[in-house]
Structure 1
Amino acid sequence: MLAHERRGSGPPLVLIHGLGSRRQVWDPLIAELARHREVIAVDLPGFGESPLWPPLDDPRQPHRAGRPSRATAGPTTPGPTTPGPTTPGPTTPGPTTPGNATPGNATPSNATPGDATPSNATPGNATLGPPTPGPTTLSPLTPDPATPGFTDNPAADDPRGFEAAPVPGSVGHLADVVATFLDGLGLDRPELAGSSLGGGIALELGRRGRASAVTAFAPIGFWGPVGRRWCQAVVGGARVLGSALAPALPRIFATRAGRVALCGIFYGHPSRLSPEDCLGSARALSHAPGFAAARRAFGVWRLPVGADPGALTGIPVTIAWGTRDLVLPHHRQAARAREELPTARHVLLPGCGHLPFADDPARCAELLTVRQ
């Protein structure tokens, strides 16, 4: 069973966080949401307080019924559940020096390798964290110490989009785990909301028919290869630099200037964050055992233009993007989402960053409780 919290009453709403994050990222919304919904905020396996998933050939792994093939978006007969070994492939050149970046998803300040990513991005986010032991001189593009390569999945840039076999930490794999979690709670088709990686998981579950509504905040999967690598670099740099500066983080987060400097890449208004939230999220990132595999598997899942979106066309779907998102810049990726999901409600959140929940909690809660 995944670690989770339940509050409120009404139709069930399941909240799914992003890479390196934890369920507390939704805290600015919980009180308002609980007035209208039974809110279930969950820690993904290998993040927050949930243990890492078992090996994919372990019988405890969830059954993969209803998974798509790569060629179509419809359900297929379950196939083998043990992935073959992957071989590290070449990486796309990118920023290799942390420069003046500081932790918390710290991004090189002079780098622009993403989809219209601002070149003056200020590093930081409350999902960076204190450290797990390991080298501290790695650049944001250096592979995580626990991983054999920056992205060693040969399907990472496959435009067909869906993984044919389970890949540890991928959207499809984590969707399987969340689906089993929902089964354990007796929830067939709850409302789902996800942030970043969690947004991709929510959309995948909705595509499979496991949701009555889906809201995705800056979901992954609408990028090109460069945008994906930029995102991997940002979150990878946060983990490395957060570990390097771990002893100083309590003092840094205690100041407004420190929170702005360290959290500005994920939040539009980082000064509004509390020092305690910043530090807790920082530690969650550095201690997440599922981080390396999930980052490496980022590119496995996409919803290609023209593919059958499955059950998504029959339910309310909202895609929301902050206009100050420096991790998954909205200019190109929100446009791709409009093209690939034309029947969805597409919303921009002015002044909000990648994690808009503390930037504009009232608007985010409204998107989750008021349907189009």
Structure 2
Amino acid sequence: MSLHHVRRGAGSPLLLVHGLGAGLQSWDPIIDELAAKREVIAVDLPGFGQTPPLSGDVSIAALTDSVAQFISEQGLEGVATAGQSMGGRIVLELARRGGGGDTVSLAPGGFWSDRELAVFGYTLRPSIALVRALRTRLPALLGNPVSRSALLAQLSARPWSLTPQTVLPDLLGLADSPATDPAMDALTKGPKQQGAPLGSVPGRVTIGWGRRDLVTVPRQAHRAADAFPDAALHWFPRCGHFPQWDAPHEAAELILTGTH
């Protein structure tokens, strides 16, 4: 399957892999800053954005396979990668397999305890259902800082400070993407993320985590760092699950300095 993608900028290539939500539009808050320094290739994963869903079962392994196939098709072997949430897990899985180059993973899934995983499923699924129920009213609700804060409390440390244009694509993506529910099943019912022994990854690995992340809670960062002992761990002090929302300049700088 060929992944829908956009290319922006010039320089050393950088592949962006999104999480649940808007597809490649999830990177809109920082893609201009990244493209000012690099050639940015942002993809829509299967079932998100403009890429058709997978024909078989959705799993993290299958989604990673689709990215690996895209890298091969585009002649991007050794490309630096950055991902957020589910995309952060996918780029770590690529690195674990020995694919890609330098890796920056923001708030990756897959490092929950069993209890944390249950809480993740029990809280995020109702949030997705609520977004679907309110879909036609989302622009108006996001335009009000009070209702915006209520809607985004699980996802952002500072939802009142965000613009509707920043967050609306991701919420509509959660509501509309055919892969949202299968990907949630993959995250909550599939295996947890495996690690990579010291010295086995192909490039530098940087893991970024928000101190106020309520989706992948901060204690999971230490498990991720233990699983990937080559990784450098970066903390975003006033940040929830989406660094590109809450700390866009810092997130862009981390990606640029963590890859070449």
**Pairing 1:183-202 to 2, within 5 Å after superposition:** 183-202=72-91
Residues 32, 20 of structure 1: CA spacing in aligned structure 2 closer, same or farther, 3 A cutoff?
closer
The match for 1:261 among 147, 150, 161 is 150
Residues 218, 185 of structure 1: CA spacing in aligned structure 2 closer, same or farther, 3 A cutoff?
same
**Pairing 1:315-354 to 2, within 5 Å after superposition:** 315-330=203-218, 332-354=219-241
In the alignment, residue 47 of structure 2 is paired with which amino acid? G
SS in 2 for 1:27: helix
Note if contact 1:19-1:196 (Cα within 8 Å) is conserved in structure 2.
yes
Provide the aligned C-alpha RMSD in A. Answer: 1.8
**Pairing 1:1-372 to 2, within 5 Å after superposition:** 1-55=2-56, 168-298=57-187, 299-304=190-195, 308=197, 311-312=200-201, 314-330=202-218, 332-371=219-258
Which protein is richer in helix relative to its size? 2
TM-score between both structures, scaled by the size of structure 2: 0.92
TM-score between both structures, scaled by the size of structure 1: 0.65
| Unaligned runs of at least 5 residues, structure 2 | none
Q: Distance in 1 between matches of 2:165 and 2:33?
A: 21
Following TM superposition, the consecutive aligned residue runs of length 4 or more in structure 1 with deviations greater than 4 angstroms are none
- The higher radius of gyration belongs to 1
SS in 1 for 2:81: strand
In the alignment, residue 2 of structure 1 is paired with which amino acid? L
Matched residue pairs, number?
Answer: 256
**Percent identity of the aligned residues?**
41
SS in 1 for 2:238: coil
What CA deviation, in whole Å up to 9, does each residue of 1:178-218 have, x standing for no partner?
11111221111111111111111101111222211111111
Residues 172, 254 of structure 1: CA spacing in aligned structure 2 closer, same or farther, 3 A cutoff?
same
Q: CA deviation at 1:10?
A: 1.0
Q: CA deviation at 1:233?
A: 2.6
What CA deviation, in whole Å up to 9, does each residue of 1:275-300 have, x standing for no partner?
23433322211111112221112132
Q: Distance in 2 between matches of 1:232 and 1:363?
A: 29
Q: Distance in 2 between matches of 1:251 and 1:337?
A: 38
What CA deviation, in whole Å up to 9, does each residue of 1:141-174 have, x standing for no partner?
xxxxxxxxxxxxxxxxxxxxxxxxxxx2222110
Q: Distance in 1 between matches of 2:245 and 2:136?
A: 25
Note if contact 1:171-1:301 (Cα within 8 Å) is conserved in structure 2.
no
